Amino acid sequence: MSKRQAPGALEDSMQVESPAPKKARVGDDDDDDDELLNESTNNGHLMLKEAEVSYEDDENEPAVTVPVLKKVPDEGYTDLYLDTIDRKVLDFDFEKLCSVTLSNINVYACLVCGKYFQGRGPKSQAYFHALELNHHVFVNMDTKKIYVLPEGYEVMSKSLDDIKFVVDPRLNRQEVAKLDKTTKISWDLANKEYIPGFVGMNNIKANDYFNVVIQALAHVVPLRNYFMLEDFASRPQLAQRFSTLVRKMWNPRAFKSHVSPHELIQEISLQSAKRFSLTDQSDPVDFLSWFLNNLHLSVGGSKTKPKSSIVQKVFQGTLKIESQEITPKADLGDRLRFEDKAVKTDITNFMILTLDLPPAPLFQDALEKNIIPQVPLVTVLHKYDGLRSQEKMNQRVRYRLLHPLPPYLLFHVKRFSKNKFVSERNPTIVTFPTRSLDMSAYVEPDPKKYPPGEPVWYDLVANITHEAMKKRDDSVEGEQDAKIWRVQLRDRARDEWFGVQDLFVEPERAETLFTKESYVQVWEKRRGQPNANAQGKGNAT
C-alpha cells in the first residue's frame, strides 16, 4: 500500500502562526472577545473565551465570609440560650479586665462561666469564647445590656433584670431612707439569710485593715447616702469604685451574702504607689487618714477651703492648740504648768482625734500575771479639755475643741509606739458607753454657736478593735505578734450590735463591747441638737 502524500509542503506548514498567548483580562471590551473567537490552533479547535479563564475576581474574594450580626432574634427564638445562665457562678466584684487581653475597655461578662472578655464583634475575645465553648449569653459591664453571641442580638427579657441589678445596684431615695428603719431579712442564692449593710468582706490575703475601715465608713449615714445616690460617672475612679462597693454592701437582692473589695483596693494600691495593698497588712488609722483625704479630693473637694466636700462636712472639726516653750528655769517637777508669759495659739482643722493611753504597768501582780489596766474614755478625753497640758518636743501644749462639733467624731486610741529597737503595744482597755457620750466638757463655750451648759450627746456607731495573736512556738525570737482587726457595728433598725471579721458576721452584746482593745471609734452626734446635721439625706448638708 502506497504512503499517502502530505497535502502541502513542510515549509508551508512551518509558516502557520502559533495560538495567541493567554493574557489577563483587564476590561469587558467586546472587541477582545471577537478576536479570540477568530483565532485557531493546530488541531482546528477554537480557543476558550478569555472571560472563562480570568482569575482576577477569585483572588479578591475572602476565604471566609464575615457573618452579619443580628439586631433582633429570629421569630420564636427570643429566649434561646437563657437556660444556660448560671447565677451561682457570677461574681461582679472583681476588677473588670478581659481574662485574655487584660484590657478594661468594652468588657463583657459571660453569664455561663462568669469570666470577663473584651468586645462582642466577629474578631473579639467574647465572640471566640462563644464559638469555642458554646457560652452564648454576655452582659456589657458598662451599659448593662445583655447580648447573645455569635448572633449578636440584644436580649430584652425581663427575667434578666436581677442580673442587671446585681451588676450595678441602684436604690432610689425612698429605698435609701428606709435602710435604717426596716428589719427585713434578705436571702442569697445559697438560701442563706443576711442583713443588708452587715455582710462579710473577702480578706484576699492581708487586707483586713482595709475591710474594717470600709465597713465603718459604710455606716456613716450621710456619707453612705451620698455615695449611694449621686452619679459619679464623670468623677475619678476612687469615688466611682467606693460608691459601687457601698451600694453592693447595702444591696437587698444580692446573689451572695458577702462582697469582695478587690476592685476598690486595686485602685487604692495604684494611687498610693502600693503603700496600701491586699498583700501587706497596714495600720487602719494610716489608711483611714489617707483614704479620707483622697476621697475628699475625688468628689471635688478643695485643698485649702474647709468643708468643701461631703467628707469634710461629716468629719471635720476645729481645734485650738496653745503652746509655750519650756525654759531651762522651769521647775523640774512642774514642767507642764503654763507660765504667765505669752501663749502661742493656733486654730487648726482635724478629722481624727488621737487619744493617748496611760503607760502600761511594767511589773506583775502577786499571782505573777500581767495586769491589764482599764481606763474610762472620759479620762483619756481630758487631753482636749484645755486645762491639762503635755510635753511635745521642747513645748508644753494643751488642746481644746471648738464649736460647732462635726456630725461625726473619729477617735484614734494610740496603742502602738516605736523606738529605735522595737515596736510596743499598750494593752490598756478603754471602757466606754455605747450611747450618750457628753462632749460638752471638752469644747470651749461659745454662746453664739451653742447654748452654754447644754450637753453635746454622741452615740457610738462603729468600733474597730485590735487583737494580738501569738505566733507558733518555732517563731523567731523577737518577732511581732500577728494583728487581727475586727469591727463592731450598730444596727439602728434593730438596736443591736454585730461583729464583723472578714467573712464572719456575728451578734454582739452592747455591754461587752469595751472588753476588746478599741483602736478606732466612730461617734454620731445625736439628732435634735443645735448644729446637728439632718440624717438620711443624700447631700448631708
Q: What is the pLDDT of residues 485-530, one digit of tens each?
A: 999 999 999 999 999 999 999 999 999 999 999 999 999 999 877 6
Task: Specify the pLDDT at position 32.
Answer: 45
Question: Which pLDDT band holds residue 56 (cuts at 50, 70, 90)?
Answer: very low
Q: What is the CA radius of gyration of the chain?
A: 38
Question: How far is residue 208's CA from residue 214's CA, in Å, rounded to a whole number?
Answer: 10
Task: Quickly list DSSP for 52-77.
Answer: GG--HHHHHS-SSPPPPPPSSPPTT-
Task: Specify the pLDDT at position 242.
Answer: 96
Task: Specify the pLDDT at position 480.
Answer: 66
Averaged over 16-41, what is the pLDDT? 46
**Model confidence at 194: pLDDT above 60:** yes
**Model confidence at 298: pLDDT above 90:** yes
pLDDT tens digits for range 350-373: 999 999 998 877 665 555 566 788
Least confidently predicted of 66-80, 195-209, 315-329: 66-80
β-strands 482-491, 374-376 pairing: unpaired
**Model confidence at 150: pLDDT above 70:** yes
* Domain extents in the chain: 20-60, 82-167
The pTM of this model reads 0.81
What is the pLDDT of the chain when averaged over all its residues?
Answer: 83
**Model confidence at 42: pLDDT above 80:** no
Task: Specify the pLDDT at position 434.
Answer: 93
| Cell 450590735 belongs to residue | 497
Show the CA angle centred on residue 358, arms to residues 356 and 361, nearest 5°. Answer: 145
For the domain covering 82-167, report its CATH number. Answer: 3.30.40.10
Task: Specify the pLDDT at position 162.
Answer: 93
Task: Specify the pLDDT at position 382.
Answer: 93
Averaged over 262-290, what is the pLDDT? 94
Task: Specify the pLDDT at position 80.
Answer: 80
Higher pLDDT, 453 or 381: 381
**Model confidence at 534: pLDDT above 90:** no
Task: Specify the pLDDT at position 73.
Answer: 64
Measured CA distances, 415 to 96, 210, 245 (Å): 39, 18, 30
How many CA atoms lie within 13 Å of 110's alpha carbon, on the beta-carbon side?
25
**Model confidence at 246: pLDDT above 80:** yes
What cell numbers appear for 538 in the block? 443624700
How many residues in the chain?
541
Task: Specify the pLDDT at position 75.
Answer: 60
**Model confidence at 238: pLDDT above 50:** yes
Task: Specify the pLDDT at position 175.
Answer: 94
Task: Specify the pLDDT at position 68.
Answer: 60
Question: Which pLDDT band holds residue 332 (cuts at 50, 70, 90)?
Answer: low
pLDDT tens digits for range 214-228: 999 999 999 999 999
**Model confidence at 133: pLDDT above 70:** yes
Task: Specify the pLDDT at position 71.
Answer: 65
Task: Specify the pLDDT at position 66.
Answer: 55
| Cell 467586546 belongs to residue | 30
Task: Specify the pLDDT at position 34.
Answer: 46
Question: How far is residue 432's CA from residue 355's CA, in Å, rounded to a whole number?
Answer: 13
pLDDT tens digits for range 28-40: 444 444 443 344 4
Higher pLDDT, 301 or 540: 301
Averaged over 276-291, what is the pLDDT? 94
Task: Specify the pLDDT at position 186.
Answer: 94
